[in-house]
Structure 1
Amino acid sequence: MTSSPTGRDAGSETRTALLLVLALSVVRMVALFATPLELYPDEAQYWLWSRTLDFGYYSKPPVIAWAIWATTALGGDAEAWVRLSATLFQAGATLAVFLIGRRLYGPPTGLAAAALYALMPGVQLSALVAATDAPLLMFLGLTILAYVELLEAGGRRRLGLAAAMGAALGLAFLSKYAAVYALIGLAIHLAVSRRARAAWAPASALAAVLALGAVLAPNLAWNASHHFATFQHTASNAAWNGVQLFNLAALGAFVGSQFGVFGPIPLGALLVGVFLAARRRRLPDADLTLLCFTLPPLLIVTAQAFISRANANWSGAGYLAGSILAAAWLVRWRARRWLTAAVAMQGAVAAFFLAAVISPALADRVGLANGLKRARGWSQTADLILDRAAREPGLTAIAVNNRFLFYSTAYYGRDRFAQGAPSLTSWLLMEGPRNQAETAAPLTPAIGGRVLMVSYEGWRRAEMEADFARAGGLEIGSVRLDRKHRRKIEMFVGEGFAPRPRGPGGPEPAQP
């Protein structure tokens, strides 16, 4: 490994990296405060969680809710403040990439890695959306940074770095359980590297384990008291139920999506580098370290995509280390033109993305409206529901049959609920809850005297009506999302809620 440079040699690259992070953060904040795009329903869900701080939630660990609580406490509940932490987390992740690259390969590679990472297409989205990936990547970056420093350290410093690594890894787990890939990478590195094994003493290993356990303990206790709800939800995401197994088309789609997430040139460099390393069967220590943190999520999620299904961002835990490795190999191969082309291409994509966020009409004009439709029309949808509720005397509740509709209505109707609108609840299709909305606010006979029922896209409306002694007053409303898409809701008033015995359910309708 290259020792950490100091003085004039590192100063220029360090200043450039800081300016890159600052400039991108400022531009992203401008986009956040200028965009007319509304919260995606998952973002609204995290905002709702942030109203009640806890050590865990139904489907995710707590860091995303904590971060939204902090930013909205500072600036209010507008969309930009809900999303602000994403920009800050990705700024931290980019700095971590620079420091890791500088530590392992020197300042030029660190700067190249920071540029590739900061301009990665997947990071552009992650930096503007309130989701779990941004905090995960920042804390994974801090975990790897502490680890590579630990490999070179000695004495008491090694003990402190071990504790810092354990704490950072714990915070990564509290962001998203995909942090388990870092544990897998660490285990692989210890298995294949004698130098890595030599760096750990019993005292430093104990410090890392204790720090990790201390950070994770409250979340583990929360899960234990809630029937391990978050763990079960995470496992169900990877389950094979209801999907076609061993699907080559799904595998091809997933692999193709990775070129869009990581960027075609960086991913190409990564694949070529892995191929060359496999042929030579020998790697420099720094390459081996990063490869152990890069390959597990990529290979495991690719296999998951072939066996059942996988979302494009599920492999994201590997791309922080992967961006450093791709930059290191491009610099080592003296592929300056390829590196320049990668930065220029990804910079152009980032610029277009930010322009489309500020002015969604730009995306509409180039045929990308479909990618934005889930961030449109939710405030109008909430108004349709609450306006109908205001016209119905004596309502005891409003009940919706879709979690996206629940969270978006809770967010965009927050002022009217605070002013006394009937409470928002979830109609349960099955015997037990399937998500946080159904867990926290189920429709029950106790509040089911006179209910405004809302069916998303008309889904299961007949079954909803059958749960009442009387049902009537059907009204169909719709909201235009773009030239091709509309969102439809069907509303009626049900009286005397007496739910029938529940049978097998089914997936919720596709979200237009």
Structure 2
Amino acid sequence: MALSAAASSDAGSQESHRFWRLFLWLTLGITVIRLAALFVTPLELYPDEAQYWLWSRDLAFGYFSKPPMLAWLIALTTGIGGDSEPFVRLSSSLLHAATGLILFRVGARLYDERTGFWGGVLYLLMPGVQLSVGIASTDAPLLFFAALALWAYVAFQARPSARTALFAGLALGGAFLSKYASLYLLIGVALHLISTPSARAGWTPMRVLAAATGLLVVAAPNLIWNALHDFSTVSHTAANANWNVADLFHPGEALEFLVSQTMVLGPVPFAAILIGAGLAAARRFDLSPSDRLLLAFVLPPLILVFIQALLSRANANWAAVAYTPAVILAAAWLLRWHAFRWFMGGLAFQIVVAVMVLVFGAWPHLADRAGLGSSFKRVRGWEVGTTRILDAAEALGPGTVIAADDRFLYNSLAYYGRDRLSGPDAPELTMWVREAHPQNQAEAEDPLTVDQGHRVLMASIEGRFRHEFEADFVRFDGWTDATVRLDPERTRDLAIGIGEGFAPQPRDPETGLPVPVSPTRP
């Protein structure tokens, strides 16, 4: 009997190591392919990515619209390899690979190695991850630290200790420095502790203090930075809610958010979450303790962001912290239901999406031929546009100031003009401030001033504010077209003009917007 038990244990251990080794090799292979595509693609930085790069040149504990983690990561990777696009984006691929490995361990601890393996595979092939690995965004560090915090919380439930509680707090702090949506994790902890009395047993006052200390030690610098900067990041994040009391019902936006989750998480995993949660709510499905724990972290962001979409609008990735526990829970339920065909069908869909994103991202001309060029219009044409604007500014001679009328244009000029703008006689790059108060970091830190406004090369994108832009100058010589072709079908509307005598018109004290003016200044 003893020999039989030992043999069974050895077989189980070998099976466990087999799943782990297979997942390690799979993660390595996928990551190498993604990194190759990252260094091959001709696609340029999206203006938000250029903004994050700009932040990384001046490290701080906070920035106008985001916490600092992504800027720190970009400073690290560009410090190693230089400022080219692949090194700006490098951390995303590496963090997503690490997140998959952590999720394997979460699934293995909560269920078994088989569940950990398939949950990790669902994550690595998640459509949202395919898009995220190719860009520099706050979602990659958020999901990494969220997975780390989830792993620590699960480990604490198995073996409570002050050390594990401290680690969970530190990981949550890292998620907080990545994106404020990390606060959904605290709601998940609260929901789990309320719904599962046995989960509260390990949380002695000392362990609660350890977790709180870990969180506050990491988060405090950003909180202090916000306090010293009028809570600009907090205010910007809150403003994204954009509630209008007179118009608080948008079923179309809510439906669009739900549909978007099928394309971010994957249709089969998302359907499994909805079906399992619905059956559990109807008491037709018994939840295991592990199910309850994961569901406590999955539901709050999905439900709260759905409500936000119903009241106003919501981006698909606003519920991102739900995805790390969701892939494990979806894998566990699909395996328990023996829904193997559905599982494989969902994975097949995700593999097709992954291959398409990789191929079209590496060779976007193939996307043009397939009629999908519009998907890449925001990551094309910025370098050409920058060259045209800087050529015009340098032709005006020393002392010229460039003023952009849009933060996207400003950020792209800063990145793609980084070498030319750093010269001793280079034109100075500024941002025209449209409203009474800054609405982004460019407006806050590099506003065009009256002292700079003797001769200004005005750079405008899309033409939305050109009328107001030129009205802020005593003299203006008209616009010159600088349109950039993005692909065979699309262009970006750019224009430049010379303004003299910058003298901003009044801004409405209530709306902050420019007071309406006639086309030409009297």
Q: TM-score range by the shorter chain?
A: over 0.9
1:182 equivalent in structure 2: 185
Amino acid at match of 1:397: V
Aligned to 1:364: 368
Partners of 1:133 and 1:472 in 2: CA distance: 44
Q: Which moved more, 1:412-421 or 1:134-143?
A: 412-421
1:160 aligned to which of 142, 159, 163: 163
TM, length-normalised to structure 1: 0.95
1:32 equivalent among 12, 32, 38: 38
Task: Report the more deviating stretch, 52-61 or 391-400.
Answer: 391-400
2:258 aligned partner: 255
Query: Match of 2:457, SS?
Result: strand
Task: Write the distance in 1 (CA, Å) between the matches of 2:463 and 2:333.
Answer: 54
Query: Percent identity over the alignment?
Result: 50
* Corresponding residue of 1:510: none
Letter in 1 for 2:237: T
Among candidates 445, 453, 459, match of residue 440 of structure 1: 445
1:290–1:322 contact (8 Å) kept in structure 2: yes
Residue in 2 aligned with 1:466? 471
Contact 1:389 1:395 in 2 (8 A): no
Deviates more, 1:474-483 or 1:164-173: 474-483
Between the aligned partners of 1:452 and 1:146, the Cα distance in structure 2 is 54
* Per-residue CA distance 1:127-148 (angstroms, 9 max, x = gap): 1110000100000000000000
Match of 2:329 among 325, 329, 345: 325
Q: In 2, Cα distance between the equivalents of 1:450 and 1:330?
A: 66
Q: Distance in 2 between matches of 1:202 and 1:369?
A: 57
CA contact (8 A) 2:48 2:408 kept: yes
Indicate conservation of the 8 Å contact 1:98/1:114, yes or no. Answer: yes
Aligned match of 2:271 in 262, 268, 272? 268
- Bigger mean CA offset, 317-326 vs 343-352: 343-352
Q: What's the offset of the Cα at 1:242?
A: 9.9
SS for the counterpart of 2:426 is: coil
CA distance in 2: counterparts of 1:433 and 1:231, whole angstroms: 15
Q: Which residue of 1 aligns with 2:91?
A: 85
Report the residue type matching 1:368 in the other structure. Answer: L
Task: Find out whether 1:354 has 2:343 as its counterpart.
Answer: no
1:118 alignment partner, one of 112, 124, 142? 124
Q: Which residue of 2 aligns with 1:376?
A: 380
Q: Is the 8 A contact 1:243 1:309 kept in 2?
A: no
> 1: distance between equivalents of 2:245 and 2:401?
33
1:68 aligned onto 2:74: yes
Larger radius of gyration: 2
- Aligned AA (2:75): W
User: Aligned to 1:54, what secondary structure does the other structure show?
Assistant: coil
Distance 2:148 2:340 in 1: 28
| Equivalent pair of 1:386/1:421 in contact (CA under 8 Å) | no
Alpha carbons of structure 1 residues 85 and 506: separation in structure 2 relative to 1, 3 Å: farther
The 3 A distance-change label for structure 1 pair 396 and 242 is farther
Paired residues of 1:395 and 1:452 also in contact (CA < 8 A): no
Q: Which moved more, 1:486-495 or 1:62-71?
A: 486-495
Give how far 1:243 is off.
9.5
Distance across 2 between alignment mates of 1:290 and 1:496: 61
Cα distance change of structure 1 residues 360 and 244 upon mapping to structure 2, 3 Å threshold:
farther
Moved more, 279-288 or 479-488: 279-288
Q: Distance in 2 between matches of 1:192 and 1:405?
A: 49
Deviations 1:391-436 (A, max 9, x none): 1134441000100000011000101001232111000111111001
Shift of residue 505 of structure 1?
5.6
Q: CA deviation at 1:458?
A: 2.0
Q: Report if the CA contact (8 A) 1:395-1:451 is conserved.
A: no
Contact 1:32 1:128 in 2 (8 A): yes
* Matched positions, count: 501
**1:242-295 deviation per Cα after TM superposition (whole angstroms, max 9, x unaligned):** 995311221221111111111111111111111221122742100000000001
Measure, in 2, the Cα distance between the counterparts of 1:486 and 1:9. Answer: 55
Q: Which runs of 5+ in 2 are unaligned?
A: 1-8, 515-522
Tell me the equivalent position of 2:4.
none
* 2:454 corresponding residue in structure 1: 449
Q: Quick one: distance in 1 between partners of 2:327 and 2:266?
A: 10
SS in 1 for 2:487: coil
Contact 2:432/2:448 (CA < 8 Å) preserved in 1? yes
Stretches of structure 1 that go unaligned for 5 or more consecutive residues are 508-512
In structure 2, the residue matched to 1:500 is: 505
